[in-house]
Amino acid sequence: MFYIFLFIFGACIGSFLNVLIDRLPNDESIMGRSHCDYCSHKLNWFDLFPILSFFWLKGKCRYCGKKLSPIYPLIEVLTAIAFVLTWIFAPADNILVKYGYLGVISSLIVVFFSDLKYQIIPDSIQIAFFVSSLIVAGNAIDVTIFAKKAAAALIIMAPIYFLHAVTKGKGMGFGDVKLAFTIGFLLGIKGGIAALYIGFILGAAVGLILLGFKKKGLRSKIPFGPFLVLGVLIVLFFQSPLFALIKRIYGI
């Protein structure tokens, strides 16, 4: 019963994340009723039920009949599933930390899709991600643990900052640099390096595949943020098998 509630709650948050993904990168107000992307008709409350409305409307706008992007219900379902999985699997020993992880996951979903769609990682989401990571670190009011986390943040940020500086912001945006800082704070040095490593490998693989299909020229930009997000999620959810694998290969 609780998980059904959590799923519905996640779907509603996902619906809100959709609003953030489309409005924050374009500097639009997040207040005010959503409207159709095509005809700009304001949507009614009964058009805005997460997941259900899309199927009820058969994926079309009620007012102009244009096809709605399946990305919207996809993000709602994704957030709903992520909330349930996070609650079950996140390495949290108290309820506040679990809420922190829900914040982390929500922020990462917005980073993933707004970077993918608009090549922008909005600052307000960077802040939300950092604050959520602070809540996850909640119990670590201990100064030494906090100092360790801050050091990890700087260490994980350093290589991304270096790439950003060397490529003059073309290979790596400053948004990726800020993202790497919070990733280091959240995951520590070992987890942070693992997340970067996975991000680079996935990015390279997808880049090569797109190149193979000649979808993107060498010069066209593939945002790096989504790959970093995937790296973080893999480290968060598969930490113990991943760390066991690292130990076996590298002995650390």
Name the 3-class secondary structure at 51.
coil
Of 43 and 81, which has the nearer Cβ to Zn ion? Answer: 43
> Minimum CB separation from Zn ion for residue 19, in Å?
17
Footprint (CB under 5 A) of Zn ion, residues 141-160: none
Which tokens belong to 199?
């991000």
Backbone angles phi, psi at 60, to 5 degrees: -125, 150
> 67: which DSSP letter?
B
Q: How do the residues of the chain divide into helix, strand and coil, expressed in percent and rounded to 5? A: 70, 0, 30
Of 35 and 215, which has the nearer Cβ to Zn ion? Answer: 35
Of 40 and 240, which has the nearer Cβ to Zn ion? Answer: 40
Of 61 and 179, which has the nearer Cβ to Zn ion? Answer: 61
DSSP 156-205: HHHHHHHHHHHTTTSSS-HHHHHHHHHHHHHHHHHHHHHHHHHHHHHHHH
String of contacts with Zn ion for each residue 35-64, x by CB under 5 A: -x-xx---------------------x-xx
Of 49 and 238, which has the nearer Cβ to Zn ion? Answer: 49
> Minimum CB separation from Zn ion for residue 42, in Å?
10
> Minimum CB separation from Zn ion for residue 65, in Å?
7
Q: Does 80 bind Zn ion (CB under 5 A)?
A: no
Whole-number Å distance between alpha carbons of 15 and 51: 8
Using the rule CB under 5 A, give the single segment among 28-36, 104-112, 146-154, 180-188 that binds Zn ion: 28-36
> Minimum CB separation from Zn ion for residue 37, in Å?
7
Q: Does 9 bind Zn ion (CB under 5 A)?
A: no
Which tokens belong to 232?
């973080």
C-alpha distance from residue 41 to each of 15, 33, 193 (Å): 18, 10, 46
Of 62 and 148, which has the nearer Cβ to Zn ion? Answer: 62
> Minimum CB separation from Zn ion for residue 90, in Å?
38
Q: Answer for the pair 188, 165: CB distance below 8 angstroms, yes or no.
A: no
Strand partners, 67: 60
95-118 and 174-212 helices, crossing angle to 10°: 60
Total chain residues near Zn ion (CB under 5 A): 6
Backbone angles phi, psi at 93, to 5 degrees: -105, -5
Residue-level length of the chain: 252
Of 47 and 115, which has the nearer Cβ to Zn ion? Answer: 47
> Minimum CB separation from Zn ion for residue 28, in Å?
17
Binding site for Zn ion (CB under 5 A): 36, 38-39, 61, 63-64
